[in-house]
Amino acid sequence: MSGDSLDALSSEQLHDLAVKRARRHLDVAFFWRLMKYLPAAEAGAGEIDEADADLDSLTAHVDDVTTSGRGEVGDLLRPFYLEYLREHGVTGP
């Protein structure tokens, strides 16, 4: 345990907190990294068609960023959100 309350949050809550922090700090690198990880998470969640579409279109990635905290995709992205929030000293909502 790292001494924060982030592990207790749902994947969707982690996503929302990380996206909010990145927007507030204009952290384009966060969104770029999220777009890199998203197709693999979607494929891992069995969303192969979605992953293929994302690889073909940056526009699809932009749309996905807003929903990437939900369901199995969100669960597979938890480590990414946790790392990002902890790197920036965020300990909870």
39-48 pLDDT, tens digit each: 888 889 998 8
For 24, how many CA atoms within 13 A lie in the half-sphere containing its CB?
Answer: 9
> Mean pLDDT of all residues in the chain?
86
Q: Report percent pLDDT > 70 for the chain.
A: 87
Q: Which residues contact 57 (CB under 8 A, 6 or more apart)?
A: none
Q: What is the reported pLDDT for 63?
A: 63
Query: Taking a C-beta distance cutoff of 8 angstroms, is the pair 6, 36 a contact?
Result: no
Query: Taking a C-beta distance cutoff of 8 angstroms, is the pair 32, 80 a contact?
Result: no
Q: Report percent pLDDT > 90 for the chain.
A: 42
Query: Taking a C-beta distance cutoff of 8 angstroms, is the pair 2, 66 a contact?
Result: no
Residue 32 has pLDDT above 80, yes or no: yes
**Which position has the token pair 């929030």?**
85
Cα separation of 16 and 9, whole Å? 10
Does pTM top 0.75 for this prediction?
Answer: no
Range in 3-12, 28-37, 66-75, 82-91 the model is least confident about = 66-75
DSSP label at residue 92:
-
Residue 1 has pLDDT above 80, yes or no: no
